[in-house]
Amino acid sequence: MVYINRLDKNFYNRMAKLAIPIALQSLIFSLLNMVDILMIGKLGETNIAAVSVANQISFIFMLIMFGINSGSSIFTAQFWGKRDIINIRKILGISLILGVGVGILFAIGGVFFPKQLLRLFTPDDKIINIGERYLVIVVLSYGVSAVSFAFTSASRSINQTKLPMVTSSISLACNTLLNYVLIFGHLGFDALGVRGAAYATLISRLIEMALIITIIYMNDGVLAAKIKEMFNLSKEFIKTYFKTSGSVILNELFWVLGVSVYTAIYGRMGEQALTAVQISNNVRNIFMVLNTGLSSACAIMIGNKIGEKQYEQANEYANKFTRASLALSVVLGLGIVIIAKPALLLFDISDEVKMLTFRTLIAQAIFLPATLYSALLIVGIFRSGGDTKFSLYLEMLGVWFIGVPLAAIGALVLKLPIYLVVALVKIEEVVKIMVGLVRVKSKKWIKNVVDDVK
């Protein structure tokens, strides 16, 4: 019994050591978005809606980045389990090539075709015109963010979680100060409105990238790779990478396209509905950061154990993380209910939009346990176990066969209010966890993807 308790203590200590810094970094990212919305909100509801629509492009880009680096993390975590530094550096190289390449493509689209992209999400010309001013600047940060994302993800996978947290904290402080100066025109600068928010994001991303690269190479650690080490990639190695990670990238692509369809549907429900969803998502995301840390810690710890070929312990970790996620999600859901009304006092919006946002937050809170456990299953358990094709099929089932049809029927056919449409969409999460639990119990998700990689 003492031995079991010691194992449990070691497990939870390591979980906390990994999850807390990642959760804090996610909190910083969510606060950064919240600060943007709060400051832009001083310019009016139309500006919030415009930046919300423009940020859908950023959201799509970031989710593709998450897909690329989540796929890479499967290999990095398992390679770290067998202490294979050479191949860790090759995986970092692939992440950089793919990430920067996608960042450049998005930047080209945002600079040369901003209105066409924004019109995918809203038909409102006023929102599009304001959103264009923001988008053409903020897309220039995408390539920079891709570099930071690659090094941050790799750092987490080798259990180095504090560095990303520190650099994100500095980035948040810079972004907040620059928002204050550039949006409203303080300290002798002109008031740039939404363009000021975009410039603040671009500059803070540059600072974050410079910091994380400088610190990694000054310390000459595992990720301080030479150019030749990162890009010495054989066809066989690349083929092995895409055999597993390709499903993750497709997963995120199909998921983000589905979420973009949700946004397009919300956009056709009117400016107030769009604003309510944007604000409620930002408030909800503050509460989701702990589960983000938990899911990331789950992926790292399970991936490391599979790399060490300790498959039974990997399965036991999955069961422990399941219990932790479900308990945490109930507490966080109650937290949203308690904080919803006080939080909305921070936003300069009409009483009608506050009412819609409050009800949308309650809908989010009711389904939060399903939402968070679904994320843990897909990101923390199945992907880290190398079961990426099942993750892809599960996500497509939820989004495209349940969520999108229900959103379209609720909003465009039944003409339901936004909070009921959001509740309908969340039914997809319930279905995903019902199917996912069966897969967890089968143990078929445990796959060693690095055992034969040279």
Averaged pLDDT for residues 387-408: 92
pLDDT grade for 49, boundaries at 50, 70 and 90: confident
Residue 310 has pLDDT above 80, yes or no: yes
pLDDT in tens, 150-170: 999 899 888 787 888 888 888
Asked if the model's pLDDT at residue 172 lies above 90, the reply is no
User: Would you state the structure tokens that stand for residue 125, as one six-digit string?
Assistant: 């010309």
- Gap between the Cα atoms of 391 and 444, Å rounded: 12
**What band does 296 get if pLDDT is binned at 50, 70 and 90?**
confident
Q: Would you say residue 451 has pLDDT above 80?
A: no
d(CA 362, CA 140): 36
Query: Model confidence over 247-256: pLDDT tens digits?
Result: 888 888 888 7
Predicted pLDDT of residue 11? 83
3-state SS, the chain, equals: CHHHHHHHHHHHHHHHHHHHHHHHHHHHHHHHHHHHHHHHHCCCHHHHHHHHHHHHHHHHHHHHHHHHHHHHHHHHHHHHHCCCHHHHHHHHHHHHHHHHHHHHHHHHHHHHCHHHHHCCCCCCHHHHHHHHHHHHHHHHHHHHHHHHHHHHHHHHHCCCCHHHHHHHHHHHHHHHHHHHHHHHCCCCCCCCCHHHHHHHHHHHHHHHHHHHHHHHHHHCCCCCCCHHHHHCCCHHHHHHHHHHHHHHHHHHHHHHHHHHHHHHHHHCCCHHHHHHHHHHHHHHHHHHHHHHHHHHHHHHHHHHHHHCCCHHHHHHHHHHHHHHHHHHHHHHHHHHHHHHHHHHCCCCCCHHHHHHHHHHHHHHHHCHHHHHHHHHHHHHHHCCCCCHHHHHHHHHHHHHHHHHHHHHHHHHHCCCCHHHHHHHHCHHHHHHHHHHHHHHHHCCCCCCCCCCCC
In tens, the pLDDT along 10-45 reads 888 888 888 888 888 777 777 776 777 777 777 777
Sorting pLDDT into bands at 50, 70 and 90, what band is 1? very low
> How much of the chain, in percent, has pLDDT values that exceed 90?
37
Q: What is the pLDDT of residue 247?
A: 86
301 has pLDDT over 60: yes
Say if residue 4's pLDDT is above 60: no
Over pLDDT 70: what percentage of the chain?
97
d(CA 352, CA 134): 27
Picking from 384, 373, 390, 388, the residue whose alpha carbon sits closest to that of residue 434 is 373
Model confidence at 3: pLDDT above 60:
no
Q: Span 191-196, mean pLDDT?
A: 88
Q: What is the pLDDT of residues 311-362, one digit of tens each?
A: 999 999 999 999 888 888 889 999 999 988 888 887 778 889 899 999 999 9
Predicted TM-score (pTM) of this structure: 0.76
Measured between alpha carbons, how far is 264 from 50 in angstroms, rounded to an integer? 13
pLDDT at 6: 53
Phi, psi of 185 (to 5 degrees): 80, 60
Query: Cα 77 from chain centroid?
Result: 19
- Average pLDDT over every residue of 87-112: 93
The amino acid at 64: I
Best CA proximity match to 122, nearest among 276, 260, 252, 282: 260
Residue 146 phi/psi, 5-degree rounding, is -60, -40
Q: Token pair for residue 402?
A: 């349940």
Contact 93, 225 (CB under 8 A): yes
